[in-house]
Amino acid sequence: MFFHIVLERNMQLHPRHFGRNLRENLVSKLMKDVEGTCSGQHGFVVAITGIENIGKGMIRDGTGFVSFPIKYQCVVFRPFKGEILEAVVTMVNKMGFFAEAGPVQIFVSNHLIPDDMEFQIGDMPNYTTSDGSVKIQKDSEVRLKIIGTRVDATEIFCIGTIKDDFLGVINDPTTA
């Protein structure tokens, strides 16, 4: 799920950036530093949408750098356990398949794929039902439920399932 959230950060700025463009310099450094990062707590910071407030700068002892506390609004992507979302299949193998929802990778193990779907090997590996009506392959769109997240300091990885009501393929690239 995407969230619009207010975060705070102390930015250190070198004195050469001071002057009438101080604010712009500060904001563009913030964007460069923060956008695209991932923290376990807040998820992926996708884009900064606004600056709420820039506090008073504090000179750091000995270096001349000044640190400014900045409050900014941003769009973050943070997956949660139990959440249901749509994702695009990126790779299929006999262990299961990988799907991508925005910046996050989700793995669905073959134990969490309905039992009537069998793995088919070939140049386009896929999972297919015995009557061939439903097929999961690269670029398929699936609706899945996140059942586990592994969160470390700089990465988020999810485990998902499609073995439940109203989950599974929503769009097959071959029939579309």
Partner 1 sequence: MLRAEDEDASELKLGDVTMRLGLSDFLKAKCLMNSEVAILLEHRCDQMKHMSGESMHQLPQVLEKSLQYVKRFSRFTNQGSVKQVREVLSRYQLAEFELAVIGNLCPETVEEAKAVVPSLKTKGRGHDDEAIDRLLNDLMMIKKFE
Contact with partner 1 (CB under 8 A) among 42, 110, 114, 157? 42
Question: Do residues 88 and 100 lie in contact, with contact meaning Cβ atoms separated by under 8 Å?
Answer: yes
Q: Supply the minimum distance, in Å, between the C-beta of residue 141 and partner 1.
A: 8
**41: left (phi > 0), else alpha (psi -120 to 50), else beta?**
alpha
SS3 of 106, please? Answer: strand
Cβ distance to partner 1 smaller for residue 45 or 66 = 45
# chain residues binding partner 1, by CB under 8 A: 42
Taking CB under 8 A as the rule, does residue 54 contact partner 1?
no
Cβ distance to partner 1 smaller for residue 22 or 75 = 75
Length of the chain in residues, anyone? Answer: 176
Mark 80-109 with x for binding to partner 1 (rule: CB under 8 A) and - for no binding.
xxxxxxx-x-----------xxxx------
Task: For residue 175, give every residue at least 6 positions away whose Cβ sits within 8 Å of its Cβ, in sequence order, or none.
Answer: none
Cα separation, 100 vs 14, whole angstroms: 39
C-alpha R_g of the chain: 22
Taking CB under 8 A as the rule, does residue 33 contact partner 1?
no
Residues that bind partner 1 (CB under 8 A): 1-8, 35-36, 38, 40-42, 44-49, 75, 77, 80-86, 88, 100-103, 141, 143, 149, 151, 153, 164-166
